[in-house]
Amino acid sequence: MSINRFNIPIIVAIVCIFQACKQSEPPEITIPERKGSLYFSGYYFNYKNTPNPVGPGPNRFKGTTDYAWVDANDKLHLKIAKNPSNNFWYCSEIISVKQFGYGTYIMTCETDIRNFDAKTVFGCFTWDDYSFQKQGNSEVDIEFAKWGNDADTLLVTYSAQPVIFSNPVAYNERTHKPLIATKYISKPMTYMMKWTPDSVFWESYEGETYPGTNKVSTWSFNKNNTPRQKIEGDKTSDFIVIPAPGDSTNLRFNFWLLNGQAPNNAKDHEIVIKNFKYIPL
């Protein structure tokens, strides 16, 4: 049957009804990024602020811009300093808002760490408040410290925790202090940590780029190592080889005092991290 001019209004009405019933594409759902107190290298962080001593150390941590800040060149500054109002020493720590996990962590340190006091410790590490039992707090580290020995020249430490908490003997196979010539330590260096289910791998490079042209150290810790338990106070974790990230694992930078003791030289200390990059696995 041919369509005449009397059928056209009916056809148009039917087409309109079908078009009206067609579902439109749902709007794209975006979850707004939670913001924090400090923004560094593309990530938001919050301050650790504790008027009473807590771990690590234990120490008091000051959550103010006098102790942790990002300058006009987007560099992170962390400070250890004595508060003249009460003569307490305060440390600094910032905690990422974003969840972190397996992947590659890269940071560049600008500070000459050779002259740091034997009581100071800098850490770039992962942590989870809620994964103690299964994963021992999901911690892997890059640290700068002399660990109380002022004559120590091995100033960088790589660790896959647990190493030493309340356990009577340290699990020494889980930590490594690479031999890095102090002529490199005195200048900017770039540090990489790659965390996977099967291993944690560290590299250090002279200069401010990754990968740099001069690799000065490397170390890896794999799942063939002995499983260990984290013992902290009256708590004991499950056996762990490579700690896995938990549901709330974050990234932290901190600068603190060993055993909560004042620096031997009684001086304030500051460290500058030029940048940080994270590449998820």
Report pLDDT for 14: 45
DSSP string, 216-277: EEEEEEETTSPPEEEEETTEEEEEESSPPP-TT-EEEEEEEEGGGPPPTT---EEEEEEEEE
Q: pLDDT band for 18, please (50, 70, 90 cuts).
A: very low
- Please count the CA atoms within 13 angstroms of the CA of 168 that sit on its side-chain side: 0
| Cα angle for residues 260, 262, 263 (degrees, 5° grid) | 120
Q: For the residues 212-222, what does the mean pLDDT come to?
A: 97
- Please check the confidence at residue 87 and state whether its pLDDT lies above 60: yes
- Please check the confidence at residue 15 and state whether its pLDDT lies above 90: no
- Please check the confidence at residue 56 and state whether its pLDDT lies above 60: yes
This prediction's pTM: 0.88
Average pLDDT, the chain: 92
What percent of the chain is predicted at pLDDT more than 90?
A: 86
Check residue 148 and give left, alpha or beta (phi > 0: left; psi -120 to 50: alpha).
left
- Please count the CA atoms within 13 angstroms of the CA of 277 that sit on its side-chain side: 11
Report pLDDT for 34: 78
Query: Of 84, 92, 241, 258, which is closest to residue 174 (Cα–Cα)?
Result: 241
Question: Two tokens at 219?
Answer: 């170390």
Terminal CA-CA length for the chain: 64
Could you tell me the domains of the chain? Answer: 29-280 (2.60.120.200)
The C-alpha R_g of the chain, in whole angstroms, comes to: 26
Report pLDDT for 25: 64
pLDDT in tens, 254-276: 999 999 999 999 999 999 999 99
From the CB of residue 185, how many other CB atoms can be counted at a distance below 10 Å? 21
27 or 87, higher pLDDT:
87
List, in order, residues 6 or more apart from 197 with CB less than 8 Å away: 102, 223, 242, 244
Phi and psi at 185, nearest 5°, equal -60, -30
Q: For the residues 84-97, what does the mean pLDDT come to?
A: 97
What percent of the chain is predicted at pLDDT more than 70?
A: 88
79 or 9, higher pLDDT:
79
Q: For the residues 212-217, what does the mean pLDDT come to?
A: 96
**CB distance 191 to 167 below 8 Å:** no
Q: pLDDT band for 33, please (50, 70, 90 cuts).
A: low
- Please check the confidence at residue 30 and state whether its pLDDT lies above 70: no
Distance CA 274, CA 71 (A): 10
pLDDT in tens, 98-136: 999 999 999 999 999 998 999 999 999 999 999 999 999
Q: To which residue do tokens 């759902």 refer?
A: 29
